[in-house]
Amino acid sequence: MIFVRACSVVLWLAIGLPPGDAVSAAAQDVQRAEGDGPYVSILSDGWRADRVLEDGDVSRIDVGAGVVTVSAVGSVPSFAVALRPPPQAAASIEPLASGTPLLVLADTHGEYAILVDFLKAQGVIDEHLRWAFRNGHLAVAGDMLDRGAHQIEILWLLYKLEAEARAAGGRLHVLIGNHEALVLRGDERYLNPRYREVAGRLGVADYAQLLGPDTVLGAWLRSRPAMLKLDDLLIVHGGVSSHLTESGLGLDAVNAIVRRSLDVPYAVKPPDGSLEALVLGANGPLWYRGYFPMRESPPTATAADVMEALDRFGVSRILVGHTVVDRVSALYDGKVIAVQVYPHQDEVTGQPMLEGALRQDGAWFRVTAQAERLALGLVD
């Protein structure tokens, strides 16, 4: 049986996108792709790489040399990845030297080719997908998973670039978003249907097992933070609600709660009124949308709420993804920067559309997949 074949466009009309998270019909198309993987399990004496091949067969091989190859996708070339031992939990606070370039983006949602176009356009990677950002920092504020058809390639690319960045004197920071939490905890509401087929081909009950704690990518994702302080900036997927600020929880405590939750089935809810319920709920850092109007309702976060969050965590700005905006935008007099421009192809030009926020020499820019750098009018 052929694993993947041509199919008509299928729209996720029944997915039930949360308010403020709606995207265009084109961006919701299920784009079937041939083959998938590798999914690398951690063994006592090495690794095993499982993948689904183009003809639907399954390949399982021991990885004695510690290197796996990620196949080409369209015009994006294949690349090799050197495997690493499972990492320790990433720090909640990282240094960022004055003058160091910082690029922040979010919500790539399986749109691998668009991400690659964007990173090339902004000089983060070269034509061979190698780190080219020198001592710069790249922060990806969650939601690499769900919706699109090439999430595993995104994870492997970021995993590879993390090591290359460090070797070059730069850094890559990957954060947990609500969709990583959904997938790792077994909630498949937004999972591209091809990944359910992949799970079946590879003989597991659900896709979450392919990113379990005993896998390279699963262990890596579980080490990521949900909130990260870089110098005087706070990066978080959803945002910081007044409830979270008033809870007194610090960054380490929030990140620990999120990490512990990643191995708890999504159907298992924390006790009402608990700190876990706060962190993992609508007012927690993964799901909060209070900076944005919802339908006809104004934002629920006040300017005072934002200032309290800045004071609580000792930062000057908060950068967030999660909620779709038309373009990277400065909110609350620049105290909040929204970066979630959903990756898609422009309906008229066919050009890839994705944006990020860049701090270069103290000035902030809105940057695009067309290599544009447009001033946001903010200076640090």
104 DSSP β-pair partners:
139, 357
pLDDT at 331: 98
pLDDT at 202: 97
Q: How far apart are CA 197 and CA 207, in angstroms?
A: 9
- Are 220 and 87 within 8 A, CB to CB? yes
Q: How far apart are CA 380 and CA 364, in angstroms?
A: 8
Residue 13 CB: number of other CB atoms within 10 A?
A: 9
Among 356, 354, 317, CA closest to 104: 356
pLDDT at 29: 41
Q: HSE of 233 in the Cβ direction (CA atoms, 13 Å)?
A: 26
46-52 and 36-43 strand pairing: antiparallel
Q: How far apart are CA 247 and CA 198, in angstroms?
A: 41
pLDDT at 64: 87
Report helix, strand or coil for 276. Answer: helix
Q: How far apart are CA 126 and CA 119, in angstroms?
A: 8
pLDDT at 15: 28
Q: How far apart are CA 139 and CA 96, in angstroms?
A: 12
Q: How far apart are CA 155 and CA 132, in angstroms?
A: 18
For the chain, which ranges sit under pLDDT 50? 1-33
pLDDT at 31: 40
- Are 306 and 332 within 8 A, CB to CB? yes
- Are 278 and 243 within 8 A, CB to CB? yes
Provide CB contacts within 8 A for 49, sequence distance 6+.
37, 38, 39, 40, 41, 59, 60, 61, 62, 63, 68
pLDDT at 154: 98
pLDDT at 2: 29
- DSSP classification of residue 191: S
The torsion region of residue 24 among left (phi > 0), alpha (psi -120 to 50) and beta comes to beta
pLDDT at 10: 28
Q: How far apart are CA 245 and CA 264, in angstroms?
A: 25
| Global pTM value | 0.91
